[in-house]
Amino acid sequence: MQKNKPDPKRWAALALLCAAQFIVILDTSIIGVALPAMQTDLGFSASGLSWIFNAYVIAFGGLLLLGGRLGDLLGARRIFASGFVILTAASLLAGLAQNQEMLLAGRALQGVGAALIAPSALTIVMRLFGHDGAELGKAFGFWGAAAAAGGSAGVFLGGVITEWMTWPWTFLVNVPLGLLVLTLIPAVLRKSPRSNGAVDWFGAISVTGALVSLVYAIVTIESAGLGSPQILTLLGISVALFVVFLIVQFVRREPLLPLAIFKAPNLAAGNLVMALLGAAWIPLWFFLNLYLQQILGLSALASGFALLPMTATIMIVMVGFSGKLIGRLGVKPNLVLGLLLMGGALLMFGNLPLDGSFAVNVLPASLLAAFGMALAYIPTTMTGMAGAKPEETGLASGLINTTYQIGSAIGLAVMVALSTFGSGQGQTAEGMLAGFQVAFLGAGATAGLAALAALMFVGSTGPQKEVPVG
């Protein structure tokens, strides 16, 4: 598509892409409230129950790079549609599951579909709006708001479905949504350009194996122990596969991840900041939900309602103000300010009292955190993608999504470990609160580290009317 000939259907296309982003993020959060019902019906053990989350995260995080590369080679629209075919079928499989194996297979396949959808959708957004920096900023505002809405809607809908329906509907709700998206794709999305080349399957297998081993090790640290032979073996396998992957990328003529992509301005810095952003933000949501339910005594449904002001703030700021602020101040100031505000909010959460109230102790800090996330997320995404060549936007989007997922997994695992240490293994309200406070402070330190990394490594672009995309 020529830069001087923007797609007349680009806003309708953006609406469809935002719906896709909403569904992908929804899948990561909607099942949380329904887990006890799944455990009762299918006989999961306490440790086995966690794999309903882990199966999705491992497949999603491990295959994002491959999904981005396939989008570049085969066309982003084709991979986007293929991802929705897989996601819709997998949701039906999980919703009809009669045993544990069937449910976990469905969740893993949902992760495969999401790994194809996420990078290809982001690539299409960049190509639709890359001709105009102001439009790109506005488009990213809607994109980020869709992600925030998906996260909160998942918590809220999970509570509604669990209370008034049955747990399979947490999966089956995706089936009509997926079919609707597939029906609309030919009408609003143009065929995407393809790049010449071949898929580096050996590189894809090695890096996916490395990421899967790493995520598997991270999510099992709590049960197996940090120094256990299982964890050390998994980490050793991950490191070995990463080394093999890097060697392959050096010697192959058409690698999965051309290392020269890191020469793009700010790309490496953007991915570093994105990993740290995920490592701070996901623990914030996780432990805030636990505080609301386990300390303040809110129901799952009430907890979902309590988180809605955060979502509304993120959506309003991203859609209404982020693009204007980026245009006026530049990417870097918004990024650093957002991370500092998030860090400040986490420090406030680190002092939550045992007899706290939502209005006094939770709402102000949660709104501050939401404002910080809204300021930081879009500039971080732009930083990680803006310097990539047009034929590498799929790869860049896969990379920025991968760093967020892996950063989130590592951050949550570390904060859970800190929480366990801080609680002294106590299950009293006082012990749990002490653990939550330590986790919040750890996430706050991570947000501060992200702000420092942005300040040191992200090049200053200043106020700008156009965001370069290639």
Q: What does residue 33 show for φ and ψ, rounded to 5 degrees? A: -70, -25
> What pLDDT digit, counting tens, does each position of 30-45 carry?
776 676 677 778 877 6
Phi-psi region of 425 (alpha: psi -120 to 50; beta: other; left: phi over 0): left
Task: Say what the pLDDT of residue 3 is.
Answer: 45
Average per-residue pLDDT for the chain? 81
- The number of beta carbons lying within 10 Å of the beta carbon of residue 135 is 19
* Interatomic CA distance for residues 445 and 365, integer angstroms: 16
Secondary-structure breakdown of the chain: helix, strand, coil percentages, each rounded to the nearest 5: 80, 0, 20
Per the CB < 8 A criterion, the answer to whether 424 and 412 are in contact is: no
Identity at 109, one-letter amino acid code? L
Half-sphere exposure of 44 (CA within 13 A, CB side): 23
Question: CA nearest 86: which of 113, 118, 120, 116?
Answer: 113
Of 4 and 54, more confident: 54
Alpha helices in 9-99 (DSSP H): 10-29, 35-42, 46-49, 51-74, 76-95
Largest Cα–Cα distance of the chain, in whole Å? 63
Task: Band the pLDDT of 235: cuts 50, 70, 90.
Answer: very high
Residue 147: is its pLDDT beyond 90?
no
Question: CA nearest 23: which of 114, 158, 115, 140?
Answer: 114
Residue 346: is its pLDDT beyond 90?
yes
Task: Say what the pLDDT of residue 465 is.
Answer: 41
Instruction: Write out the H or E segment, with its range, that includes residue 242.
Output: helix 229-251
Most confident of 146-155, 253-262, 377-386: 377-386
Question: CA nearest 433: which of 361, 353, 359?
Answer: 353
* Interatomic CA distance for residues 88 and 108, integer angstroms: 13
Mean per-residue pLDDT, 397-421: 78
> What pLDDT digit, counting tens, does each position of 287-332 carry?
887 788 778 888 767 777 787 888 788 878 877 777 777 777 778 8
> What pLDDT digit, counting tens, does each position of 76-114 carry?
889 999 999 999 999 999 999 888 889 999 999 998 999
Quote the strand ranges of 201-261, DSSP E: none
Task: Band the pLDDT of 47: cuts 50, 70, 90.
Answer: low
Identity at 327, one-letter amino acid code? G
Residue 244: is its pLDDT beyond 70?
yes
Half-sphere exposure of 301 (CA within 13 A, CB side): 6
This prediction has a pTM of: 0.76
Question: CA nearest 276: which of 122, 65, 115, 444?
Answer: 444
Task: Say what the pLDDT of residue 222 is.
Answer: 67
Task: Say what the pLDDT of residue 149 is.
Answer: 73
